[in-house]
Amino acid sequence: MNVPCVLITGFEPFAEETVNPSECIVRALEGEIIEGHRIAGAVLPVSFEDAPIHLAQALEDHRPALVIALGQAGGRADISLERVAINLIDARIADNRGLQPMDTPVLDNGPGAYFSSLPLKAMHACLRESAVPVSLSLSAGSFVCNQVFYWLAHLLATEHPQVRGGFIHVPWMTEQAERHAPDKGMPLETMVHGLRLAIACALRTGEDLRVAGGATH
């Protein structure tokens, strides 16, 4: 009997870091069963050219019912549930292959933005109830994380319309934050726990909560 699948993706280390918490979360959860779904994992290169290719291949290989892409947001203090991906690449630093595109679209003639199809407000409530630091975010940046989020949403909209998915940013792990900003880290175990809760909530929730979650600035 085939067990349905949830695909989670992370990234390799970048920007002189030797670890990436998104990769560590993928490795920790891969193979687990959550709400009757097997967790499959893929680690993407921090490369504008290669990351979308690896993402598309992972979708074809695993044919998931749900996809959550993860990335590191060093300097944030909580798990950030990303609401929108924009059709813009404006790289403040070069990727791991040395490319630094600026003011270019993720996809020529693509829509200006895509929204997550995950039940983010329900996921936000679930993590808060379990005392996991979490926020709703209106910016996934303009680096490879946003590019992957945009491509994921585009692929789901055009090639896998039955699949829901979105992007979650995680902060530095505690040991990383000690070198940068000690108050901006989170233990890996807390992140893994938070992602288990988020995945389970997404699988259980058909219609998202109707509660205010916006920002005034």
Is residue 46 within 8 Å of 12, Cβ to Cβ? yes
Given CA atoms 86, 87, 90, 91 in this order, what sign does their dihedral have? Answer: positive
Instruction: Pinpoint the alpha helices (H) of 63-212.
Output: 120-129, 144-158, 174-177, 188-204
Annotate 34-46 with DSSP letters as a single string: ETTEEEEEEEE-S
Catalytic residue among 124, 145, 154, 201: 145
- Which amino acid, 199? I
169 is catalytic: yes
Distance CA 140, CA 85 (A): 6
The answer to whether the beta carbons of residues 116 and 198 sit under 8 Å apart is no
Which residues are CB-neighbours of 152 under 8 A, at least 6 positions away?
Answer: 55, 67, 69, 85, 165, 166, 167
Catalytic residue among 82, 124, 126, 154: 82
Backbone dihedral angles phi then psi of residue 196, each to the nearest 5 degrees: -60, -45
Counting every residue, how long is the chain? 217
Tokens at 83, concatenated: 């609401």
Q: For residue 145, indicate whether it is catalytic.
A: yes
- Calpha distance 210→192 (Å, rounded): 27
Catalytic residue among 37, 124, 154, 169: 169
DSSP 1: -
126: annotated active-site residue: no
Active-site residues: which are they?
A: 82, 145, 169
